[in-house]
Structure 1
C-alpha cells in the first residue's frame, strides 16, 4: 500500500494515541471514535461483550435478544451515571458479570430470550455506569453503543462458527471468562 493511502490511517492512529485533554473535565473521553473504541480496550468489557454474543449464538433461541438488551441497558446505565446516579459496587458487578456469563457459556445454559435479556441487562447497567463515568457527550455514547454492538456481533459470528466446529472450545472460552471474573473479583477483595 502506498504511503499517501496510509496517511489518513496514520493520522487517525496518532489522534487516538493523544491523551492530552484540556478543559474542565481533565481527561474525559470525547467524541464518537473515543466511544467506539472504548469497549475494545477494557479487557473485562471486551470479554463480557464477546461472551454474551457467543453464548447467545449457542444457547438462546432469539440470538439477538440478549445482545440488544445489553446494548440498550448499557446506554441507560451510562446515561444514569452521567445524570449523577451513583451505582454501588460497579467493579464487583462487572467481575460478577464475567463469572456469570462465562459459566452460562461453559455450561451452554439455555435460557429463553426474556430471561437471557433480563440477566444480561442487570449486568449491562453496571458496565454502562463504568463507561458513563469515563465518557462525555452524546457522540461518545453513540460510539460506545456501536462498539458494543460490534463486539456482540463478532461474538455471535464466533458462536455460530464454534457451534458447527468446536463446541469444546466454546466451553473453554466460557471457563476462561468465568476464571477471569473470579480473578478480577479476588483482586477487588484483596485490594
Structure 2
C-alpha cells in the first residue's frame, strides 16, 4: 500500500506543471487558474500546506485525513471572509506563525490528540484562506477561484503526506533526524517571513 501511494504522489507531482498550464485564459477559466496558482505562488502557503500533510502523516490513523480536511474546510471559510471583505486581524503574521509552529511540531514529532491537531490546522487555515480570498482578481468567478485554491491545497497536503512517508522510510536509517531537519528548516523560513511582516 505504501508503494502504491508513493507512486500516486510522484505521478501527481509530475502532472502539476501540465495541469497548471493547461487552461490559461480570461474570466471563468482564469478564475480557476488564479485560485489554483495562489497557494503555489508563495513560499509561506507552500510550506504550511505541505507541513500539514507531514503532520497528518506523523499522527497517522484518522488524523491522516481529518487534519487536512479540517484545514481545507476552514480555509474555504477564511476565503469567503476575504472575498466578503470581512477583516481578520494579523493575517500575514498568522501565516508566518503557521509555518513556524507547524515546522516545530514536525521537528519535535509532537503526538497531539486528533482534535487538538484539527484545531491547530483550523486556526492557521483561517489566515491562509483569508489571504486567498482578499487576493481574488476582480473579474474572477468566486466559486471557480475557490475551487482552484482548494484543489491546490489538497494537492499540497497530499504531497506533504507523501514527503512524510518518505521521511518515515528514511527514519529507519537516520532516526528522527530527517524530521527534525525538515521541520527546523521550515521554522527558520517561517521566522524569516515573520521578520519581514513585523
Query: Scaled by the length of structure 2, what TM-score is found?
Result: 0.79
Instruction: Give 1:129 deviation, angstroms.
Output: 0.3
Whole-Å separation in 1 of the counterparts to 2:48 and 2:60: 16
Would you say 1:175 and 2:184 are equivalent positions?
A: yes
Aligned to 2:90: 89
The Cα offsets for residues 140-160 of structure 1, whole Å up to 9 and x where unpaired, read as: 110100100000001011101
Contact kept in structure 1, 2:82 and 2:133, CA below 8 Å: yes
**Paired residues, number:** 169
Structure 2 unaligned runs (5+)?
A: 1-17
What's the C-alpha RMSD, in Å, of the aligned pairs? Answer: 2.0
Other structure's SS at 1:132 match: helix
Aligned to 1:149: 154
Whole-Å separation in 1 of the counterparts to 2:23 and 2:116: 43
Aligned to 2:71: 70
Other structure's SS at 1:77 match: helix
Other structure's SS at 1:64 match: helix
Report the structure number with the largest CA radius of gyration.
Answer: 1
Candidates 183, 186, 189, aligned match of 2:195: 186
Whole-Å separation in 1 of the counterparts to 2:48 and 2:32: 22
Instruction: Give 1:64 deviation, angstroms.
Output: 1.3
Whole-Å separation in 1 of the counterparts to 2:118 and 2:189: 22
Q: Report matched runs for 1:38-187 at 5 Å.
A: 38-62=38-62, 63-135=64-136, 136=140, 137-166=142-171, 167-187=176-196
Whole-Å separation in 2 of the counterparts to 1:172 and 1:122: 25
The Cα offsets for residues 42-97 of structure 1, whole Å up to 9 and x where unpaired, read as: 11000000011011101343211111100111110000121121111110011111
